[in-house]
Amino acid sequence: MKFVVLLLLAALSAPAQSVVSKEEKKDGFKPLFNRRNLRQWRGDARLWRVSNGVIVGTTDDVQIVQNTFLIYKTKKELADFHLKFQVRLRNGNSGVQFRSEELPDFVVRGLQADMAEGNWWGSIYDEKGKRGVIVNGWKGKAEKVVKPEDWNDYEIICQGENITVKVNGLVTAELKDSTRRAGILALQLHRGPGMKVYFRRMRIKRFAPAVPAASQQHLRRIAIFGGTFDPIHNAHLAVAREAAEQFALDRVMMIPNGNPPHKQGVERVDWTHRYRMVELACAGEARLEPSRLEEGRARSYSIHTIERVTASHPGDRIFFLIGADAFAEIRTWHRWEEVLAAVEFIVVSRPGHGYDTPPGARVLSLETMALDVSSSDIRAELRENRMPADALPKPVRDYIAATGLYGYRKELGC
């Protein structure tokens, strides 16, 4: 399919109503759309046009195979803002992306203020993500105020982690979310039967950043990923990469445990070997960083590691990457309430492992593909002189073969 960057002329007439009222202008609102053409936007020119000062999107004459978007052009991603617009949906499903990421061919991934025929108005949805409907703003809320096939006032307010969606003046969805703090704006056309949607009076007020710009560049998103890593395997790496991608992490600290209290009496290979394997596995991974934080520790409590990371990263946002089975036992941890207060958790869901979230815990869910790999199974195979090639990164396989770890003998191995 050939796409053309939009540069469409509007009809000569325009609505009498101003995009930005005098009161809004005094408050700092500015228009996102000039009502004449789509120079400020990019999308598939067959699907989007301007008519009488209104952005019109339709798939009546063109069948699309995936959701497509009209993307607002901006040199700098939008972070904290108050967006207002009016929308009329003839039929089908549409939405407005915010704090989102652009993919090829006018496809977008990220948070969406949703709207659909007879449903989903006022909701927050994770477009092309794994969280689906994050907040249902329709049931008991937007369904009471939406005017079908008529103009509806929509608002999206983002300030730090706090996101609010309003429909016709009613708050329909509130969310605390730190997965992505800035991104693009875009308007959606949904695949399926022919549909049509209209947008007008799009205006925005940008808020100043919560911290001075000079300081903001030093703030990073750091995740702690601890484990015995005995040995580190491909599932560990897949989880770390997915977390870094999904939650916009600047760094994932891969920390081989020194002497975890919950695994007392369990035989492990020497920490030096485990660290070296982590180092080899992370080579060439820009966001994965091997860490010596627990080297030589007599007892490895998570709170101590968290305190050391926090002290060495003042002002940075600290996450703790953990499996659902381990998080289910969080109340048994040393100083567990302090752990909850100190970090945000990224919990890796696992089939058959549910968990209750303690009050006050800040939890993000990471849905991963089924990764049927465990270090204990790998060790068992190595003891039988079978090298599990699909489970281990090649540098780790080579290191095990060279050192004879886990009783593996290269000359007898397969």
DSSP lists the bridge partners of residue 96 as 113, 187
> Mean pLDDT, to the nearest integer, of 402-410?
90
How many CA atoms within 13 Å lie on the side-chain side of 365? 14
Q: What is the mean pLDDT of residues 258-274?
A: 74
Structure tokens at 210: 């919560």
Distance of CA 399 to the CA centre of its chain: 34
Residue 261: per-residue pLDDT: 62
pLDDT > 80? residue 2 = no
Higher pLDDT, 267 or 378: 378
Q: Which residue has the tokens 């990019």?
A: 42
Query: Residue 210 — pLDDT band, cuts 50, 70, 90?
Result: low
Is the distance from CB of 158 to CB of 166 less than 8 angstroms? no
Q: Cis peptide leading into 358, omega within 30 of 0?
A: no
Residue 34 has pLDDT above 50, yes or no: yes
Evaluate if residue 13 carries a pLDDT over 60.
no
The answer to whether 237 touches 394, Cβ cutoff 8 Å, is no
| pLDDT cut 90: percent of the chain above it | 69
pLDDT score, position 10: 34
CA 374 to chain centre: 26
Confidence of residue 112 (pLDDT cuts 50, 70, 90): very high
Q: What are phi and psi of 262, to 5 degrees?
A: -80, -5
* Average pLDDT of the residues in 127-133: 90
The pLDDT, as a whole number, for residue 258 is: 81
Q: How confident is the model at residue 9 (pLDDT cuts 50, 70, 90)?
A: very low
* Residues 275/256, Cβ–Cβ less than 8 Å: yes
Position 262 confidence tier, pLDDT thresholds 50, 70, 90: low
Work out the widest C-alpha separation in the chain, in whole angstroms: 84
Residues found in the chain: 414
Give the tens place of pLDDT for each residue, 339-387: 999 999 999 987 667 788 998 889 998 876 556 788 999 999 999 999 9
| C-alpha 179, offset from chain centre | 4
Residue 81 · residue 44 · CB < 8 Å: no
For the stretch 138-180, pLDDT in tens is 999 999 999 998 999 999 999 988 999 999 999 999 998 877 8
pTM of the model: 0.53
Q: What is the mean pLDDT of residues 103-111?
A: 92
Q: How far is CA 292 from CA 257, 269, 282, in A?
A: 9, 16, 14
CA–chain centroid gap for 111, Å, is 9
- pLDDT category at 58 given cuts 50, 70, 90 is very high
Mean pLDDT of all residues in 178-200: 93
Name, in order, each residue with C-beta under 8 angstroms of 250's C-beta and a sequence gap of 6 or more: 220, 221, 222, 287
pLDDT average, residue stretch 318-341? 93
List of domains in the chain: 22-206 (2.60.120.560), 218-407 (3.40.50.620)
Residue 212 reports pLDDT greater than 50: no
Q: Is 50 exceeded by the pLDDT of residue 1? A: no
pLDDT digits (tens, 9 = 90+) for 215-237: 445 578 999 999 999 999 999 99
C-alpha dihedral sign at 118, 123, 128, 130: negative
Residues 6 or more apart whose Cβ sits within 8 Å of residue 268: 228, 230, 274
